[in-house]
Structure 1
Amino acid sequence: MELTLTRTAKRKTYTIGRLAVDGEPFCDTLEPTWRDIGYGRPGRKIPGRTAIPAGRYPVVITYSPKFDKWLPLLLHVPMFEGVRIHAGNTAEDTAGCILVGENLKPGMVLNSNIWVHRLKQKIVEAKARGEGVWITVK
């Protein structure tokens, strides 16, 4: 299964995106501020306030002690650890993770718990079919 996160609005305090599953629009996303911290380029990571670098990452579901639930986890994200896809509404609810929901208000995603549940369900179904799950962030 291929997830694609296309960042559509890079603002001073947050980043809005659109998540697609196997090419089909799925939901909106919210991340911290995007900063150009890629390999060989200028910029610097500000812990807890920086969106992950663009790239393609494997996704698994593991238990999160912080959230006390099973959540998607992105693996091998350069300069980051523990990047999850989880519920939240504003950039204050993420320290680098991807929040999913509906971008119905500027700088926010709403109905986040519903969208996390739906995404987890799709990932579990893909894994049950023996598929790998990847996310491309651009």
Structure 2
Amino acid sequence: METKIIRVAQGKQSTLSQLYINGVFQCYLLEDKIRTEKIKEQTAIPTGTYSLQLNTWGAKNVNYKKAFGKVHEGMIEITGLPNFSYVYIHTGNTIEDTAGCPLCGFGFQLIQGDYRVTQSVMAYQMIYPKLAALAKNKANKISIENNFQF
């Protein structure tokens, strides 16, 4: 399966992307601003090709297990990133919720120059089983590219 994050717009401190699996749009993603020099928990993931894995340890994993029950098998972690660690695709609405991770949502808004995603929990519940299945395949790849449209 081909998985892509395609960035389509930038706000003052935010980046809006679209998630595709096998060429089919799944949801929007929100990240921090793209920066040439990384600022911890305030920088979008660099473009490139990486892998997904299920991270089954840590506090976030425990919280998501409580929130999502048996469906949750581990956090969807993007691995192989240069100078980044513990980057999960998870729920949230604004860049204050990201800490350098992509947040999922079915819709988006532009408010005072920054993007936010909406209906995050619903989007997460829809994409989680698909991404978890991908993460179980050791040969999986996820590519991140810029294609700014607005």
- For the residues of structure 1 that align with 2:141 and 2:31, how far apart are their CA atoms? 18
Q: Could you tell me how far 1:125 is from its partner in structure 2?
A: 3.7
Instruction: Note closer, same or farther for the CA distance 1:94–1:126 as it changes in structure 2 (3 Å cut).
Output: closer
In structure 2, stretches of 5+ residues that fail to align are 65-73, 146-150
CA RMSD of aligned residues (A): 1.8
- For the residues of structure 2 that align with 1:127 and 1:92, how far apart are their CA atoms? 26
Moved over 6 A (4+): none
Q: What does 1:72-83 align with in structure 2 at a 5 Å threshold?
A: 72-83=76-87
1:52 aligns with 2:45: yes
Please say if residues 14 and 30 of structure 1, whose CA atoms lie closer than 8 Å, have aligned partners that are also in contact. yes
Q: Could you tell me how far 1:131 is from its partner in structure 2?
A: 6.9
- The aligned counterpart of 1:88 is 92
- For the residues of structure 1 that align with 2:123 and 2:57, how far apart are their CA atoms? 18
- For the residues of structure 2 that align with 1:64 and 1:88, how far apart are their CA atoms? 20
Q: TM-score under structure 1 normalisation?
A: 0.85
- For the residues of structure 2 that align with 1:76 and 1:53, how far apart are their CA atoms? 11
More helix per residue: 1 or 2? 2
- For the residues of structure 1 that align with 2:27 and 2:3, how far apart are their CA atoms? 11
- The sequence identity of aligned pairs, in percent, is 31
Aligned residues: 130
Q: TM-score under structure 2 normalisation?
A: 0.79
Instruction: Note closer, same or farther for the CA distance 1:114–1:136 as it changes in structure 2 (3 Å cut).
Output: same
Larger RCO (CA under 8 A, 6+ residues apart) = 2
One-letter code aligned to 2:100: G
